[in-house]
Structure 1
């Protein structure tokens, strides 16, 4: 018989009765072996009564432990300890790339083509000339980088912070400003790692439907009425679908947000490779908008650089949290990117790369259209392709040596799709890839058009 934990014994070992405190205490007891795998935990209501907290508090703590794969079960069947591995992991993201050894065309990661990235030799020489080289001063952003980015920033921000890439900035925001149980509105679909971050925090994900112009105002209004803490969206080119927020849609969203105090978080991951500028809500709400722009895809992923802007109070909190670790982003890299932003040769290279990425995307779209799949030409480094079954699509493509990203990694809803990277497509592969994609979709042209 499975042993059931004594609720009084467990309650006596919980000193902090918050969601995080309960989860942390139970996690430590599991990790130390005091609660062995297979042990049934007390009923939620029983433990809540002893701790004098609401059942929702205990339930949320259990939810956090479930996401860490420490406990399992629900409802009348009860909850039990299933393991002692409590290290947080980005589960969705780590699954990307496990496609076997027979893959000839890896189209899963929408990453830039190294051959189209700017030459970094001169930029790195400029980087080591930064005025504060080797200083331990924990400045938020190097003055040279700030001067370079401000003229092209989407709104006049109050404070700035350089980070080690776009996802580092988003994780800093999540770790600093979110609590377990917070209700966070996020586009559906969205970037894979953003969902992993929210799961790790224990936030409640509230999927936001989108169309060709971005998040739907009506859907946003409905979710705001449910007490959302924050809105996360991509104000420029969307990483999964390729759509871009229009100026009209941005104004509509601003009107909906006027009646709330919801924090606005903008993730501009493609940055300067986008066909048109991001439409930031910071124009309307500078006191509650955090805007992240990554420079990885346009300038180089090993630069590990992004910039976060927002109100002084929030940026200060995020910067303080970074003091647990690196405290500041390499000034050498900041100075290098600042130089490239102002260098005409680098900017010409970026424009050339944009044109080639557009041509490669267009070539695959034309090949699919000839085979009966007529998809819209959006933007970005990938294509969003609705499919009848993601599982069928993945198996079909893998059998032909092609890897793509299944929609399940970046969606909360039920719409079936795959994301196909076009950034590194070779012209001699396009026809065979198009043949495989048509077969994998399992849909005819009219069905796909109605699902876009």
Structure 2
């Protein structure tokens, strides 16, 4: 078959005339291989005329196929088949590379497994968890609520345990934001947050940031679009490592005061941050969802995060979760509660926090010796400006070092790489020298 089927050929294979029906039938043609990857689709106007529907109907169908990542393209260039699976795929996270044993992989900002607390005693305790094996959909175990409440940055209406931080964000967005809505988000940000919002079919509104956090004037400008939600990371930013200042938090609260935008605060770094938790919940608790993940401090296989929100929002999330698991494992909730109140675990987390800070400072010191001076930040990685992102990636690869392209974390053009420092226990001088060469294209 030609790689450019005309409108008549495609229309003859479509029996439905709604946007959803057209999208379903075209996706079936793609999955079956009738429309192969690389096939250029007829123009919106031609197909609409041949089918006897409005161009808007075809555009809506194409938008759905683009959301599923099986059709790409826009504008005068037209659309083409870019994938053969109707299952949505995370564009950024799905393209993260896996490297061999001979590569120093500093691309993922993950905790050092050797610094995580042991789980054996916590899991043994969890075997006696309250209501274990009950089908009752308990939002959060009383023991876990009791463990997190003293360290929460404000007094919320209600808590909910979720299956990790990103699961919390995913659930909140799908429960409260309609496809096609706008979502404001700081730029740069975690690539998985961008994937989640795009999967929802929402429009992303990037908010620029400085060393103190999201810029109030850009947030104010975005509110003219009436975004359904704002997502930002107040405690420690997972990409840049910056911390929202108390002054900036007040400025953001003032900008948001007259809006109806739901504020989603993502505390993904959690308790290995050097900063205490902060939240807009102290000023606008009726519109704040605050999420804290325990993956970085206690371990990713616990799959636990806790969120706080108004009662109404909690009910919306619980209703959405009823279509799947319905509740988070009581075993894991009970284990997390035990760890949060265990003195030895508290010391282990404090030790990890100190070691991560030492590794970060050591690497920044070596970078400075090579002429790249950067401010001290927090978190598990650093955000390094480079003259050319592509040149930096290739140069570091030649030295056996993998980092994350900054473009995966940004909606705007950027020349940065993200380098994980938490797992960089040694070799700081070698890596810093390679980064310095990679950052300056002319060297």
TM-score norm. by structure 1 comes to: 0.90
Q: Which residue of 2 aligns with 1:327?
A: 326
Q: Which residue of 1 aligns with 2:438?
A: 440
Give the stretch that moved more between structures: 329-338 or 179-188: 179-188
Q: Which residue of 1 aligns with 2:5?
A: 3
Find the partner of 1:431 among 425, 429, 432: 429
**Contact 1:357/1:381 (CA < 8 Å) preserved in 2?**
yes
How far the C-alpha of 1:50 sits from its partner, in A, is: 5.1
CA-to-aligned-CA distance 1:223-279 (integer Å, 9 cap, x gap): 111232211111110000000111110000000011211111111101111111232
- Alpha-carbon distance in 2 for matches of 1:184, 1:322: 21
Q: Which residue of 2 aligns with 1:348?
A: 347
Q: Which residue of 2 aligns with 1:71?
A: 71
Find the partner of 1:13 among 16, 21, 25: 16
- Alpha-carbon distance in 1 for matches of 2:282, 2:26: 44
How far the C-alpha of 1:183 sits from its partner, in A, is: 1.0
- The 3-state SS of whatever aligns with 1:266 is strand
Gaps of 5+ in 2: none
Q: Which residue of 1 aligns with 2:250?
A: 251
* Displacement over 6 Å in runs of 4+: 7-11
How far the C-alpha of 1:217 sits from its partner, in A, is: 0.2
- Alpha-carbon distance in 1 for matches of 2:177, 2:325: 21
How far the C-alpha of 1:141 sits from its partner, in A, is: 0.9
- Alpha-carbon distance in 1 for matches of 2:265, 2:21: 32
How far the C-alpha of 1:289 sits from its partner, in A, is: 1.2
- The 3-state SS of whatever aligns with 1:91 is coil
Give the stretch that moved more between structures: 401-410 or 312-321: 312-321
- Alpha-carbon distance in 1 for matches of 2:282, 2:417: 34
How far the C-alpha of 1:5 sits from its partner, in A, is: 3.2
Q: Which residue of 2 aligns with 1:295?
A: 294
What's the RMSD between the two structures over aligned residues?
Answer: 2.4
- The 3-state SS of whatever aligns with 2:92 is helix
How far the C-alpha of 1:65 sits from its partner, in A, is: 1.6
Q: Which residue of 2 aligns with 1:143?
A: 142
- Alpha-carbon distance in 2 for matches of 1:263, 1:437: 40
- Alpha-carbon distance in 2 for matches of 1:290, 1:201: 18
How far the C-alpha of 1:74 sits from its partner, in A, is: 3.0
**Contact 1:99/1:398 (CA < 8 Å) preserved in 2?**
no
Cα distance change, pair 341–222 in 1 and its aligned pair in 2 (3 A): same
CA-to-aligned-CA distance 1:96-122 (integer Å, 9 cap, x gap): 23345641x211111111111111111
Report whether the alignment pairs 1:368 with 2:367: yes
- Alpha-carbon distance in 2 for matches of 1:79, 1:426: 47
- Alpha-carbon distance in 2 for matches of 1:46, 1:114: 55
- The 3-state SS of whatever aligns with 1:195 is helix
Report whether the alignment pairs 1:84 with 2:87: no
Q: Which residue of 1 aligns with 2:166?
A: 167
How far the C-alpha of 1:25 sits from its partner, in A, is: 2.9
Count of matched residue positions in the alignment of Structure 1 and Structure 2: 436
Q: Which residue of 2 aligns with 1:406?
A: 405
- Alpha-carbon distance in 2 for matches of 1:333, 1:313: 25
How far the C-alpha of 1:61 sits from its partner, in A, is: 4.1
How far the C-alpha of 1:67 sits from its partner, in A, is: 4.1
- Alpha-carbon distance in 2 for matches of 1:276, 1:182: 33
Q: How does 1:189-208 map to 2 (within 5 A)?
A: 189-208=188-207
- Alpha-carbon distance in 2 for matches of 1:132, 1:253: 42
**Contact 1:11/1:50 (CA < 8 Å) preserved in 2?**
no
Cα distance change, pair 358–59 in 1 and its aligned pair in 2 (3 A): same
Cα distance change, pair 252–82 in 1 and its aligned pair in 2 (3 A): closer
How far the C-alpha of 1:40 sits from its partner, in A, is: 2.8
Q: Which residue of 1 aligns with 2:181?
A: 182
CA-to-aligned-CA distance 1:387-433 (integer Å, 9 cap, x gap): 11111111111111111111011111112111111112223x11111
**Contact 1:11/1:51 (CA < 8 Å) preserved in 2?**
no
Q: How does 1:409-424 map to 2 (within 5 A)?
A: 409-424=408-423
Q: Which residue of 2 aligns with 1:447?
A: none
- Alpha-carbon distance in 1 for matches of 2:140, 2:123: 18
Give the stretch that moved more between structures: 309-318 or 376-385: 309-318
CA-to-aligned-CA distance 1:184-224 (integer Å, 9 cap, x gap): 11111111111111121221111110011100000101111
**Contact 1:13/1:25 (CA < 8 Å) preserved in 2?**
no
**Contact 1:66/1:72 (CA < 8 Å) preserved in 2?**
yes
Cα distance change, pair 107–39 in 1 and its aligned pair in 2 (3 A): closer
Give the stretch that moved more between structures: 31-40 or 75-84: 31-40
Cα distance change, pair 31–159 in 1 and its aligned pair in 2 (3 A): farther
